[in-house]
């Protein structure tokens, strides 16, 4: 499943730990605080559990959104493209 991750983390050290964790799970950075990855449900639960231990729940925000293939394919991508391995639709806008 495709997972979109977005966060708002104040502390640089905590933010960097989370970024490293996302990279370790194979996620790619779309923007500074937005990542996209493809992961199975077992690894996703592990990512959520490990992320929960990293962030400060009183100060930080961390969101995980599951994207089905149909919804993802309906997205419009303008400008600098993400890794094309995620995109297998016929029309892209760059």
In three-state form (DSSP H/G/I as H, E/B as E, the rest C), the secondary structure along the chain is CEEEEEEECCCHHHHHHHHHHHHHCCCEEEECCEEEEECCHHHHHHHHHHHHHHCCCCCCEEEEEEECHHHHHCCCCCCCCCCHHHCCCCCCCC
Q: What is the mean pLDDT of residues 9-21?
A: 97
Domain assignment of residue 93, yes or no:
no
pLDDT at 53: 97
Q: Is residue 94 part of a domain?
A: no
11 in a structural domain: yes
What is the rounded CA–CA span in Å between residue 10 and residue 40? 29
Q: Which two tokens stand for residue 49?
A: 């559990």
- 61-77 pLDDT, tens digit per residue, is 999 999 988 888 887 77
Range of the domain at 48: 2-86
pLDDT value at residue 50: 97
pLDDT of residue 76: 77
CATH of the domain at 13: 3.30.70.240
Answer yes or no: is 43 within a domain.
yes
Q: Does 92 reside within a domain?
A: no
Q: Is 12 exposed, middle or buried (0-12, 13-18, 19+ CB in 10 A)?
A: exposed
Mean pLDDT of 43-56: 97
Residue 65 within any structural domain of the chain: yes
According to the model, what pLDDT value does residue 47 have?
98
Confidence of residue 92 (pLDDT cuts 50, 70, 90): very low
* pTM for the full predicted model: 0.81
For residue 68, is it within any domain? yes
| Count of structural domains within the chain | 1
């Amino acid at each position: 499943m495709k997972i979109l991750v977005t966060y708002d983390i104040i502390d640089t050290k905590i933010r960097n730990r989370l970024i490293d964790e996302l990279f370790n799970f194979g996620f790619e950075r779309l923007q500074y605080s937005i990542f996209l990855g493809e992961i199975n449900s077992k690894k996703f639960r592990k990512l959520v559990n490990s992320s929960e231990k990293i962030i400060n729940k009183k100060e930080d925000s961390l969101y995980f959104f599951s994207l089905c293939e149909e919804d993802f394919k309906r997205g419009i991508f303008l400008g600098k493209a993400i890794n094309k391995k995620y995109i297998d639709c016929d029309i892209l806008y760059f």
